[in-house]
Structure 1
Amino acid sequence: MTLTFPNRSRSYDTAHQRVRFLGYDGLFEVPFFIEAAAFPGATHAAEEDCLAAFDAERAMILDVARRVYSYGRKNMYVLTPADFKRGTSTGRSS
């Protein structure tokens, strides 16, 4: 199946300073997180700033999420600044 993102909702995880969003591979829910440090110009992890940055860069973030997902299936994916550098990706899982 192909990874899709039909649900536009996202939320901020204050404890880990990251934005959570969901993808779907068929009927399977695939949780993704993007670290606050991955947003351009991120100097601090204010919730409203991270959510606004996520919304502004949604298409690019989802493209990176698809690429990271294609490297192998995991329980969850944490996108880091390294994932946004062309040709590199680790897609850490927890």
Structure 2
Amino acid sequence: MRKSTETLSFPNPSRSYDSARHCVCFWGYDNSREISFLVDDESLTKLNPDMGAGETALLATFDRNRERILGLAKSAYTGGPQNRYAIHV
């Protein structure tokens, strides 16, 4: 049974770049439970092929596409014990 995404929220606009994993990390909350989301460099490049390279460009691409990425995160979220999701565009 798929859990309703209405309980998943993104009140904290923080995001960070993880150079070891080559992804931007951000967090959602299901009530008091923190859920981690990762969107990789390749997916961000698909969203903005002319973005340039490096952390600053990847974070800027994430910011420009935040609503779309959050929508994908809500679609991927199923609830249950899993607390980390990879988002692909």
Letter in 2 for 1:27: S
CA distance in 2, matches of 1:38, 1:6: 23
Q: 1:25 Cα shift? A: 0.2
Does 1 or 2 have the higher relative contact order (CA < 8 Å, sep 6+)?
2
Bigger Rg over Cα? 2
CA distance in 2, matches of 1:45, 1:26: 36
Q: Secondary structure at the match of 1:65?
A: helix
Can you give the 5+ residue segments of structure 1 that lack an aligned partner in the other structure? 85-94
CA RMSD, 1 decimal: 1.9
Can you give the 5+ residue segments of structure 2 that lack an aligned partner in the other structure? 1-5
Q: Secondary structure at the match of 2:28?
A: strand
Q: 1:78 Cα shift? A: 1.1
- Name the % identity: 40
Question: Which stretches of structure 1, 4 residues or longer, exceed 2 Å deviation after superposition?
Answer: 42-45
1:79 maps to which residue?
Answer: 87
1:38 maps to which residue?
Answer: 43
- The alignment of Structure 1 onto Structure 2 pairs a total of residues equal to 80
Normalising to structure 1: TM-score of the pair?
Answer: 0.76
Residue from 58, 66, 84 that aligns with 2:74: 66
Normalising to structure 2: TM-score of the pair?
Answer: 0.80
Say whether the 8 Å CA contact 2:28–2:35 is kept in structure 1.
Answer: yes
CA distance in 2, matches of 1:77, 1:45: 24
Q: Secondary structure at the match of 1:6?
A: coil
Say whether the 8 Å CA contact 2:18–2:25 is kept in structure 1.
Answer: yes
CA distance in 2, matches of 1:75, 1:2: 14
Say whether the 8 Å CA contact 1:11–1:19 is kept in structure 2.
Answer: yes
